Amino acid sequence: MSKNKKKYTPNHKRSPEKTAVKAKKHLGQHFLKDENVARKIGDTLTLNGYQNVIEIGPGMGVLTKYILQKDINLVAMDLDSESIAYLNTNFQLEHYEILKGNTSFQVIEADFLKFDLSKLFSKEQFAITGNFPYNISTQIVFKTLENRDRIPEFTGMFQKEVAQRICERSGSKIYGILSVLTQAFYEVEYLFTVPPDVFNPPPKVDSGVLRLIRKKEYGLSCDEKLFFKVVKTAFGQRRKTLRNSLKTFELEEEIKTLEILSKRPEQLSVEQFLELTLLIEKQE
């Protein structure tokens, strides 16, 4: 939006509003209805050095309007055509007084998991946020990891158990593949818990909001594909020691005798997984 563009208040005459969107179970939709929680999630974005943001699953825009109060370029992406119609009718920029002069807003009907992110923001850096559908939340994280070169920040709401798993440290039963792979590239922080009654319909579990900030040095010291393979193989048999679970790598006798191989995968820190991968890489 140009700095000289005329601003409008919500009282400006506009087309009739579209009625509320019905949550669809097969899309994992639970619409946030608490304004204070929406404002808190919007405030989780630091936007340190970049202005582009994708909001995944905006629904009826309760979070969207708080994100739009920032000086940003926002793309709201949803797979639900009914939500898209609602946003296009009720959330056009000219209907609201935007606090920052350079804000731009675009609504896209698309599946984030299948969408080609290179088509957005002229290949510039962007943040991701949203009240993520539970049924695809972990897949959203994995796609973020795949595109980490362009995604310096990621915030949003998950099922509490998933948010905790992402942020968990070694030594815990819930520490796993998602924890290690995410923490290899991002600094992770569990921010706050959200109860079921702030959603419509309310889920059967609590939700958790987290923030990921990409590490300044996020390149790995070992082969990336091998690292992913080692982590996934180790946790694929998490009750076994690494000496047993990593047999498919045909480890050299010198590596097999290392104390680290007598541990189970949840006992290894991210740094230790990187070190172990480097050892395996050198023997190949």
pLDDT of residue 232: 97
- Which percentage of the chain shows pLDDT scores above 70? 87
pLDDT of residue 109: 94
Each as own residue / partner, the long-range contacts of residues 202-205 (CB below 8 Å, 24 or more positions apart, any chain) are 202/30, 203/30, 203/134, 203/159, 205/159, 205/160, 205/161
The CATH superfamily label for domain 224-283 reads: rRNA adenine dimethylase, C-terminal domain (1.10.8.100)
Nearest to 50 by CA among 128, 165, 107, 108: 128
Q: List pLDDT tens digits, range 167-198.
A: 999 999 999 999 999 999 999 999 999 999 99
How large is the average pLDDT for residues 78-103? Answer: 70
Q: List pLDDT tens digits, range 210-235.
A: 999 999 999 999 999 999 999 999 99
The mean predicted confidence, pLDDT, of the chain is 87
The CATH superfamily label for domain 25-214 reads: Vaccinia Virus protein VP39 (3.40.50.150)
How large is the average pLDDT for residues 59-81? Answer: 90
- In the chain, where the domains are located: 25-214, 224-283
Task: Please check the confidence at residue 25 and state whether its pLDDT lies above 80.
Answer: no
d(CA 157, CA 137): 9
More confident residue, 31 or 192: 192
pLDDT of residue 210: 98
How large is the average pLDDT for residues 124-136? Answer: 94
pLDDT of residue 7: 35
Check: pTM over 0.85? Answer yes or no. Answer: yes
- Which percentage of the chain shows pLDDT scores above 90? 69
Task: Please check the confidence at residue 30 and state whether its pLDDT lies above 80.
Answer: no
Helix, coil or strand: residue 7: coil
d(CA 195, CA 234): 34
Degrees, nearest 5: CA angle 131-133-139 = 110
At 11, the amino acid letter reads N
pLDDT of residue 11: 35
pLDDT class of 136 with cuts at 50, 70, 90: very high
Which residues lie closer than 8 Å to 114 by C-beta, 6 or more apart?
Answer: none
How large is the average pLDDT for residues 19-38? Answer: 75
pLDDT class of 246 with cuts at 50, 70, 90: very high
How large is the average pLDDT for residues 265-283? Answer: 95
How large is the average pLDDT for residues 107-132? Answer: 95
Task: Please check the confidence at residue 103 and state whether its pLDDT lies above 80.
Answer: no
pLDDT of residue 9: 33
Nearest to 5 by CA among 89, 76, 105: 105
